[in-house]
């Protein structure tokens, strides 16, 4: 009978127990990365290296739950980290990945505090999530010194109308501008996932009016709109 461990209980240097996780974000990088989350709320970044092939019927889709066995655990490194976990999971040719039924309805949405951001108390090494309503989106502009060649900026306020300036680059800038230009909604509520306080690459995402209970509540608190 398998024994399942929480992500916080994993320790490098020994055979790892099985884990059950929800994929909350996937993105392409030189190594291929995913960000799984256990039902206890702990998050860790994992890598599916090029050349490691999962069974044909397995797709690591965001929102799905998986059971993972025989993976490698290493110390996390890098200048920018998507989680605060000390460790990083590497899937190998020996890893076993099986899709399982949903364990919890939790969205694992952990949004940063606007005031804490503006006071400079978040470490820029770690990516954050943010929830708010867009009040202004600028035009797309060329920015040749960035890795991506386009960016636009917008102001996103919290429910208490504290504003934080956000800058999107590359395809994310195009996604933001296209949505803002085409929407007829009075209020656009969005969730920023895995954004850096200065600059992020690849893993960042933006969700517009997502079907998440916390977002419905946030929108209902805005005095000039209705859900």
Residue with tokens 């009075």: 186
The pLDDT tens digits for 120-164 are: 888 888 888 888 888 888 888 876 554 444 455 555 655 556 788
Higher pLDDT pick, 15 / 198? 15
What is the distance between the alpha carbons of residues 123 and 181, in angstroms, rounded to a whole number?
33
Mean pLDDT score across all residues of the chain: 79
Domains of the chain: 7-100 (2.40.50.140), 114-220 (2.40.50)
Residue 227 reports pLDDT greater than 60: no
Higher pLDDT pick, 2 / 190? 190
Give Cα separations from 171 to 123, 168, 201, 205 (angstroms).
26, 8, 11, 10
Residue 98 reports pLDDT greater than 70: yes
pLDDT of residue 69: 92
pLDDT of residue 140: 82
Average pLDDT estimate for 96-101: 93
The pLDDT tens digits for 150-161 are: 455 555 655 556
The pLDDT tens digits for 21-70 are: 999 888 876 545 666 665 557 889 999 988 888 887 888 898 999 999 99
């Amino acid at each position: 009978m398998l024994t399942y461990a929480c992500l916080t209980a994993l320790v490098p240097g020994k055979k790892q127990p099985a884990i059950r996780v929800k994929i909350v974000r996937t993105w392409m990088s030189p190594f291929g990365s995913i960000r799984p989350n256990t039902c206890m709320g702990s998050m860790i970044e994992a890598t599916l290296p090029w050349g490691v092939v999962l069974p044909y019927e397995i797709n690591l889709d965001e929102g799905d739950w998986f059971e993972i066995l025989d993976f490698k655990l290493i110390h996390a490194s890098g200048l920018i980290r998507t989680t605060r976990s000390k460790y990083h999971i590497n899937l190998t040719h020996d890893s076993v990945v099986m899709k399982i039924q949903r364990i919890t309805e939790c969205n694992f949405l952990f949004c940063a505090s606007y005031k804490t951001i503006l006071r400079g108390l978040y470490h820029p090494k770690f990516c954050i999530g943010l929830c708010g309503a867009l009040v202004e989106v600028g035009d797309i502009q060329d920015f040749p010194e960035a890795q991506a060649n386009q960016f636009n900026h917008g102001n996103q306020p919290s429910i208490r109308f504290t504003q934080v300036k956000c800058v999107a680059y590359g395809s994310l800038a195009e996604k933001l501008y296209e949505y803002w230009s085409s929407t007829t909604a009075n209020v656009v509520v969005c969730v920023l996932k895995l954004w850096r306080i200065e600059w992020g690459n690849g893993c960042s995402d933006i969700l517009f009016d997502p079907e998440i209970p916390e977002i419905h509540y946030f929108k209902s608190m805005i005095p000039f709109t209705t859900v």
